[in-house]
A and B are shown apart, each in its own frame.
Chain A
Amino acid sequence: MKMNGARILLECLKREGVDTMFGYPGGTVINIYDELFSFREIRHILPRHEQAGVHAADGYARATGKVGVALATSGPGATNTVTGIATAYMDSIPMVIITGQVPTALIGNDAFQEVDIVGITRPCTKHNFLVKNVKDLAPILKKAFYIARTGRPGPVLVDIPKDVQIAQTEFDYPETVEMRSYKPTVEGHPRQVEKAMTMILAARKPVVYVGGGVVLGGASEELTSLARMLSLPVTTTLMGLGAFPESDPLSLGMLGMHGAYCANMAMTESDVIVAVGARFDDRVTGKIATFAPHAKIIHVDVDPTSIRKNVRVDLPIVGDVKDVLGKMIREAEKQTAKGGVERDLSGWLGEIATWKETHPLSYKESKTAIKPQYVIQKLRELSDADAIIATDVGQHQMWTAQFFQFNKPRTLLSSGGLGTMGYGLPAAMGAQAAFPDRQVITVCGDGGVQMNIQEMATLVQNRLPVKIVILNNNFLGMVRQWQELFFDRRYSSTCLELPIDFVKLAEAYGAKGFSTAKPDEVEEIIKQGFAEEGPVIMEFKIAREEKVLPMVPAGASLNEMVLNA
């Protein structure tokens, strides 16, 4: 059947299983919107800013595991998507971003609302396309979805000029994709797995270091089985939280700059580290020269470039983490069945238990000021077991990571790699669109929440009952913390000064708002907020100069934690 390009785009999205998209109209996508007007199979949500639309698609993707889709017009619409795209790229989130472009005949002429978005997003997409002929549109979209979701996932941008949206062609959606230049390795090499298991079984101080790859690869079950089967202690990165239940005694919690003492000590003292779907980011390793000095490192990752990028690796296994962990379980069964494997981890697990006991994550409680950690603990206590938490970026993000206790994958949505302020609220919006019946909470600071606060309107309009928790210290708290510790308390431009009335703000958007500065009101407000049917702002005016601790100062070794300052 003959169709125009705009219709072909929608038909392709439908065939890829897209049920929700986030988009903002404009001159070069008006033809797509015209088709969308009568196209009932895809729910279109209109954010109030393109950046938020992309974050929402990202939140949708992280919560569901499906490819998130966002749409924006050319020029400023396209440039507004860049922060969202870079955020998804750093955290390997599968997304397809569609942008309109000026007609092909005008490309390069500095036309109205023209920008070279393919050039701009080249370094922050997994791949991108400019569609020059309507005949290429369907095959390119097929490739875009395939590239976005396979191998190490990531965002793919497709730039569609206006005349391509108008031009007609026969619609034929390809069933399969074959690309000679793109064939990700997904199956781990059995011989490498065998060697790895021999190393793990011989280890006296093993630790499993888990990253976001385990969540993305849907391998939590395999990871949990393997760790429990072999009594392997597990620490996760921020992105890995939820991949292994933190309620399990084998869990060490998060490692790194604001990680748990026991996790950082276990890494430093370990003799075998099994890194799974993690990339040895500088926030995790601390000073590379002194990182895990005694450990042999096994590194499992679907992306070969992650291996040996930052640290030496003794045994690399390239492959999909689910496949490799599955093979590891069978290999462990095989090797232990053969006998002759003598393992006694009681000394090591005892050492870890002592670290946990002597240096737990803690804070000084207060009767007069609200402690942010207390709010997070109350949120855990009062929220549903399958609640989805989206954070913004900063102190509140680290407190959430430290104190919420994540037990299920895809329940924490957070900008780990790029650290994008303004991410939390729109990401929660995307997750709520995917799961209308689940509790979706965003924990924000008073700084970041104001970077995409306009999305309150989208929440109210679309009946997305996101619960917005604002930990308000009237500071850009994380930078203030650094200024306190490393810059002699010279609080340069980190005090937000003007207090915002968040209750009135919520009401202005037609939502409900609560606010308190009293610790004994925290619980009641959370209960009331959760009981509300629509979106809610819950503002907690917290102890202003509370710090995130422990902290490994930038450039210091992982075991040189500041515990009290």
Chain B
Amino acid sequence: MKHTISVLVENEFGVLSRVVSLFSGRGFNIDSLTVAPTNEEGMSRMTIVTGGDENILEQITKQLNKLIDVIKVIDFTDGSAIDRELALIKVTAEDESRAEVLRIVDIFRAKVIDVTPKSYTIEATGSPLKIDAILELLRPLGLKELVRTGAVAIGRGAKGWKG
């Protein structure tokens, strides 16, 4: 089962590699990973999408917490978080397919950010499932290149991560 985990870390030298080598060293998978600074001084936030059964997830969470630079680990169980991802998609668009691409872009409230006579480059945001869906529709028209950021997630409700 897929899990989205937020890891709040001290923005110290080597912290990313500590987290990543924990996953590789213990045989856990990473489906996606994003990392960037937060509003708090010296603190970065990683969002990691990973998979595994309950026991594996428990170990992942505990092992992450054990890292000295990790301030907090939040395992978002289903529905407790909003997750979003951004994708940049270069798609073949010639003749009759140009209109079809634009229709799909419109339906998914995406944006065309670069145009050539033979292609559109599209910016799409949404939950990872929504990105999967737009890709499925665009793929038959000719996907030339795809970049996804991986998901970022934030808890629902009025409370911040500190409660």
User: Do A and B associate with each other?
Assistant: yes
Which residues on the A side are within 8 Å of B59 (C-beta)?
Answer: 305, 308-309
**Number of A residues whose C-beta is below 8 Å from B?**
19
B68–A304 CB distance below 8 A: no
Q: How many A-B residue pairs have CB under 8 A?
A: 39
B69 at the binding interface (Cβ < 8 Å):
yes
A305–B10 CB distance below 8 A: no
Q: Among A126, A303, A308, point to the contact of B68 (Cβ < 8 A).
A: A126
Which residues on the A side are within 8 Å of B87 (C-beta)?
Answer: none
Quick one: given A122-B14, A130-B13, A181-B10, are A147 and B21 in contact (CB under 8 Å)?
no
- Chosen A-B contacts, 20 in total, with CB atoms closer than 8 Å, are A119-B14, A122-B14, A122-B17, A123-B21, A126-B68, A127-B68, A127-B69, A130-B13, A130-B14, A179-B68, A180-B10, A180-B71, A181-B9, A182-B68, A304-B62, A304-B66, A305-B63, A305-B66, A308-B55, A308-B58
B163 at the binding interface (Cβ < 8 Å):
no
A118 at the binding interface (Cβ < 8 Å):
yes
Other than the given A122-B17, A180-B71, A305-B66, 18 more pairs (CB < 8 A) read A119-B14, A119-B17, A122-B18, A122-B21, A123-B21, A127-B69, A130-B14, A132-B13, A147-B68, A179-B68, A180-B10, A181-B9, A181-B10, A181-B68, A182-B68, A304-B62, A308-B59, A309-B59
B125 at the binding interface (Cβ < 8 Å):
no
For the complex formed, measure the closest distance between the CB of B12 and the CB atoms of chain A, giving whole angstroms. Answer: 9
* Chain B 38-89 interface residues, beta-carbon cutoff 8 Å to A: 55, 58-59, 62-63, 65-66, 68-71
Which residues on the B side are within 8 Å of A179 (C-beta)?
Answer: 68
* Minimum CB distance partner of A132 in chain B: B13
Shortest 5 CB-CB contacts between residues of A and residues of B: A127-B68, A305-B62, A181-B71, A304-B62, A182-B68
A384 to B10, CA, bound (A): 50
B157 at the binding interface (Cβ < 8 Å):
no
For the complex formed, measure the closest distance between the CB of B116 and the CB atoms of chain A, giving whole angstroms. Answer: 40
A123 to B58, CA, bound (A): 20
* Minimum CB distance partner of B25 in chain A: A123
Which residues on the A side are within 8 Å of B18 (C-beta)?
Answer: 122
B55–A304 CB distance below 8 A: no
A189 to B88, CA, bound (A): 50
For the complex formed, measure the closest distance between the CB of A528 and the CB atoms of chain B, giving whole angstroms. Answer: 49
Quick one: given A123-B21, A181-B71, are A304 and B65 in contact (CB under 8 Å)?
yes
A555 to B49, CA, bound (A): 34
For the complex formed, measure the closest distance between the CB of B73 and the CB atoms of chain A, giving whole angstroms. Answer: 11
B14–A303 CB distance below 8 A: no
Question: Contact mask A300-314 → B, CB, 8 Å, 1/0?
Answer: 000111011100000
* Minimum CB distance partner of A130 in chain B: B13
A562 to B62, CA, bound (A): 37
